[in-house]
Amino acid sequence: MALDFSLFLPQMRLSLPQLVERARAAEAAGFVGMTGMDHLTPPLAPQQPMYEAMLTNTWLAAHTERLRVGSLVLCDSFRHPAVLAREAVTLDHASNGRFDLGIGWGSTSYELEIFGIGSTAAAQRVGRLKETLEIVTALWAGETVDYEGEHFTLQGAHQEPRPLGHIPIVIGGAGKKTMQLVAEHADWWNVHTGILDKLEQLDDLRARAGNARASLQLYVAYLHPGDDREEVTALAQRRFGPSVVAGTGPELVDHFGALAERGFERIYAWFCDFAQPHTLAAFGDDVIGAFGAAEDSIDA
């Protein structure tokens, strides 16, 4: 079964040295990547410190050798597509091809209102994302771009250098217009966990995702030997809600194996203990190791 694992770790509550420590631990454990989030204010925790997404990715790439970096997902409204295209190519070159562009039209519209950025209307935001993807991919291709859209106008736009190779695009969501963008542009479709128990809906959406490979973000509570299951699970659910996947290494192998059989090829694991390095190491030994060499499945 082809399945790899990426560490999802929001760049909040942790210092930059702590983030680097976890990135290096994830790399050593066999995770293919590490992804954060992209917000102007931390969701449900506005007083918590948080670092900017692209700069954090750059910092983590500079302190690792093989780990892919990215975000689940960058908010399209925060960046002009020409700026985003330039940032992505710069990070692609700086990391020697280890950047994934995860992008969406924004999950927390209230922060757009707080900071006065763009529209909070869903139709406007998904339309803007469509134009962003068209412009970014054209600029990456080295084209001279003339573009007349509802949101952006470009006249004779051109950028160099081009990407080193192919920058994978990750898009999440399940709406009709979002799925059209997934089919047209995405290498990876990140699935919302809410549809996992709706097999018929999942199968229908999977067919509409085109050639994009399916990934899934999950809350994970890893049970070390000697841990009290009820205590660890209860703490994790207080922090993250009832959808936490709690288990020992073998139990998690079974759980993720079942997801691989349903067609998922990547798990973005959000650890409920804030990705303590010893947890990442144990997860690498017990879980990632059970699915073989991660390097065999990282290419988009």
pLDDT tens digits, residue range 1-56?
689 999 999 999 999 999 999 999 999 999 999 999 999 988 888 889 999 999 99
Burial of 20 (0-12, 13-18, 19+ CB in 10 A): middle
Residue 298 confidence class, pLDDT cut points 50, 70, 90: very low
* Entry pTM: 0.94
The pLDDT of 80-87, averaged and rounded, is: 98
Distance CA 252, CA 283 (A): 9
pLDDT at residue 45, as a whole number: 85
Contact 193, 162 (CB under 8 A): no
Tell which wins on pLDDT, 122 or 93.
Answer: 93
Tens digits of per-residue pLDDT, 287-296? Answer: 999 997 544 4
DSSP character at residue 1: -
Written as six digits, the tokens of 42 are 């931390």
pLDDT at residue 44, as a whole number: 81
Distance CA 201, CA 219 (A): 22
Tell which wins on pLDDT, 191 or 68.
Answer: 68
Containing 251, the helix (H) or strand (E) segment is helix 249-261
The pLDDT of 200-225, averaged and rounded, is: 92
Residue 70 confidence class, pLDDT cut points 50, 70, 90: very high
Alpha helices in the chain (DSSP H): 16-29, 53-62, 81-94, 109-115, 122-140, 176-185, 199-208, 229-240, 249-261, 277-286
The radius of gyration computed from the CA coordinates of the chain, to the nearest angstrom, equals: 19
73-211: CATH topology is: TIM Barrel (3.20.20)
Residue 297 confidence class, pLDDT cut points 50, 70, 90: very low
pLDDT at residue 199, as a whole number: 65
pLDDT over 90 percentage in the chain:
81
Beta bridge partners of 154: 147
Q: 220: closest CA among 170, 286, 297? A: 286
Whether pLDDT at 300 is above 80: no
Tell which wins on pLDDT, 137 or 106.
Answer: 137
The pLDDT of 238-267, averaged and rounded, is: 94
The pLDDT of 67-89, averaged and rounded, is: 97
Whether pLDDT at 175 is above 70: yes
Task: Return the percent helix, strand and coil in the chain, to nearest 5.
Answer: 45, 20, 35
pLDDT at residue 272, as a whole number: 94
Written as six digits, the tokens of 295 are 């390097």
Q: What is the mean pLDDT of the chain?
A: 93
pLDDT at residue 295, as a whole number: 44
Distance CA 255, CA 286 (A): 13
pLDDT at residue 225, as a whole number: 95
Tell which wins on pLDDT, 183 or 107.
Answer: 183
Contact 209, 183 (CB under 8 A): yes
Contact 54, 85 (CB under 8 A): no
Domain boundary assignment for the chain: 73-211
Read off the amino acid at residue 265. Answer: E
DSSP character at residue 162: P
Whether pLDDT at 160 is above 90: yes
- Taking the CB of residue 48, how many other CB atoms lie within 10 A of it? 12
- Taking the CB of residue 182, how many other CB atoms lie within 10 A of it? 26
Distance CA 147, CA 165 (A): 24
